[in-house]
Structure 1
Amino acid sequence: MNQKMFISAEEMATELGISKSFAYKLMREMNEELQKKGYLTIAGRVSRKYFEEKFYGMEREMM
C-alpha cells in the first residue's frame, strides 16, 4: 500500500489549490459528516477514500 490511509490538511490544500486554513475547515465539515454516520475520526486528518469520493465522485466502500 503506497498511499496513506488519511489525507492531511496540507496535502488537501495542495491537491485542491486552496489555503491550508480552508482545507482545515473542509476537513472539520467532512469529519462531522463521518461522525454523524457513526465513524470515528481523527482531528486534522480525513479518510483518503472519503476525500476522493467527496471531491472526485469516486464511490468506494468505507472500511
Structure 2
Amino acid sequence: MSKLMINAEEVAGIMDCSVRHGYKLIQEMNGELKAKGYITRAGRIPRKYFFERTGLSEQEEDNEGI
C-alpha cells in the first residue's frame, strides 16, 4: 500500500525542484484544502490531491523507478 501523504522531499523529486520549493507547493495546496474545510498537516499533502492538482498520475511516478 502506498503512503497516503507525501512530504516535501517526495514533492521535490517528482516535480524536479528544490525541497524548499516543495514545501512552498505543499503550503499552497494545504491552504486550498483548509479553505475547503479539510484538516491539514504541515509539511505533508495527501498523495491523491497532489497528483490531481499537478495533473500527473501516480503511474508515472511508479514507472520512474523501473
- State the Cα distance separating 1:56 from its structure 2 match: 1.6
In the alignment of these two chains, the number of paired residues is: 57
TM-score where L is the length of structure 1? 0.85
Question: By percentage of residues, which structure has more helix?
Answer: 2
Residue 39 of structure 2 corresponds to: 40
Distance in 2 between the 1:33 and 1:7 partners?
Answer: 16
Identity fraction in percent: 47
5+ residue gaps in structure 1? 59-63
Structure label with greater radius of gyration: 2
For 1:1-63, list aligned pairs within 5 A. 2-56=1-55
The CA RMSD over aligned residues, in Å, is 1.2
Question: Which portions of structure 1, spanning 4 or more consecutive aligned residues, are displaced by more than 4 angstroms?
Answer: none
Q: Which amino acid aligns with 1:56?
A: G
Distance in 2 between the 1:46 and 1:53 partners?
Answer: 12
Q: Which amino acid aligns with 2:51?
A: E
